[in-house]
Amino acid sequence: MNRALTIINGIGVLALAVICVTQWRSDRSLNIEVSQLQRANQVQLGSLVEQSNTLRGVNEDLAQFKERFSKAHAELSDALASARNLERENTQIVAERDQLKASVTNWSAAVAERDVRLKETLEQGRELSRKLNESVTRFNELATNYNASVRRFSELATNYNSVVDQLNELRKPSKTPEKSSAATK
């Protein structure tokens, strides 16, 4: 009887060892994947901050452009009023007006180019946000799987401990003399 229990116990220990090794390998690969996802998440956050700073700079440039454009527009209005009042400076004012028109055209082209860049930056931000959301979702799935694995391992350990306790109870020497003499036979 003791030999059979020893064999069963040995088989149980081997089975538990196999389960532990399998669980360890599974948890190890999950931990490696979680680490990789965290690194990717940090890289994406850094890129997102960098793009946010770039966008802030572009917005400041746009505000400066609007201010400069307003000033240029006011100067053009003043120049036209002066041209009507002073004919002898007519040629000089016409040249300044043409120069201001060229500036406005250049600024309009610059605004169009800036708008294209803003749209590209916004699209990149959206793409990064989408990737970040995918990474967070994947991380959450991995965390859920990891928690389920830990719960399964805890249940197995609890079951194993109860089996060991029962086995220890069975192995305790009995206190009655009849059972001890029967065990020696």
Q: What is the mean pLDDT of the chain?
A: 87
Q: What is the mean pLDDT of residues 32-58?
A: 93
- The answer to whether 34 and 139 are in contact (CB under 8 A) is yes
Q: In the prediction, which pLDDT does 32 show?
A: 92
Q: In the prediction, which pLDDT does 174 show?
A: 64
Q: Which two tokens stand for residue 85?
A: 């009042």
Give the distance from CA 29 to its chain's centroid: 19
DSSP count for the chain of H helices, then E strands? 3, 0
5-44 pLDDT per residue, tens: 899 999 999 999 999 999 998 889 889 999 999 999 999 9
- What domains can be seen in the chain, in order of their start residue? 2-171 (1.10.287)
Q: Which two tokens stand for residue 62?
A: 């746009």
- The answer to whether 165 and 157 are in contact (CB under 8 A) is no
- The answer to whether 104 and 72 are in contact (CB under 8 A) is yes
Q: In the prediction, which pLDDT does 178 show?
A: 53
Residue of 51, 56, 62, 48 whose CA lies nearest to 114: 62
Q: Which two tokens stand for residue 153?
A: 């391992």
- In this predicted model, which residue has the larger pLDDT, 177 or 36? 36
Q: In the prediction, which pLDDT does 177 show?
A: 52
Q: What is the greatest pairwise CA distance in the chain?
A: 139
- The answer to whether 135 and 16 are in contact (CB under 8 A) is no
Q: What is the mean pLDDT of residues 70-99?
A: 80
User: Which band of pLDDT confidence, cut at 50, 70 and 90, is reported for residue 175?
Assistant: low
90-120 pLDDT per residue, tens: 777 788 888 889 999 999 999 999 999 999 9
